[in-house]
């Protein structure tokens, strides 16, 4: 099937409209390539918030490895930092909940 000029322009316009969604999904795909990041996200199904030490104990990995993964998830907008006194914990965002669906 060959598209005419009008169909091509229309397709380009539609693609431009959803480019942010495509970018978001591709970053989610990258996040999904690491099983530990996925485990971190899915643990939020069971608890409202987690501290890096909680993840470290549950996943049996170092706190620095957990922190690195949480930073990536935070940059992607799936989790957010919450200060609880002197401790920093993480909560899942609306985008993170959509990721879980």
Q: What CATH architecture does domain 5-100 belong to?
A: Orthogonal Bundle (1.10)
Q: Residues in the chain with pLDDT < 50?
A: none
pLDDT at 89 (0 to 100): 93
**CA dist., res. 77 & res. 92, Å (int):** 9
Q: Which residues are registered as beta bridge partners of 92? A: 79
State residue 57's pLDDT score: 92
Instruction: Tell me what pLDDT residue 14 has.
Output: 73
Sign, CA dihedral 58-62-65-66, equals positive
pLDDT at 45: 85
Every domain of the chain and the residues it spans: 5-100
| pTM score over 0.85 | no
> What DSSP state is assigned to residue 2?
-
The alpha-carbon radius of gyration of the chain (Å, integer) is 18
């Amino acid at each position: 099937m060959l598209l005419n000029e009008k169909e091509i322009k229309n397709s380009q316009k539609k693609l431009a409209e959803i480019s942010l969604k495509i970018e978001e999904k591709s970053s989610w795909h990258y996040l999904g390539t690491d099983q530990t990041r996925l485990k971190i996200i899915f643990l939020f199904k069971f608890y409202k918030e987690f501290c890096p030490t909680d993840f470290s104990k549950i996943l049996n990995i170092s706190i620095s490895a957990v922190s690195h993964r949480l930073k990536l998830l935070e940059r992607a907008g799936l989790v957010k930092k919450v200060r609880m006194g002197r401790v920093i914990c993480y909560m899942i965002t609306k985008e993170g909940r959509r990721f879980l669906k």
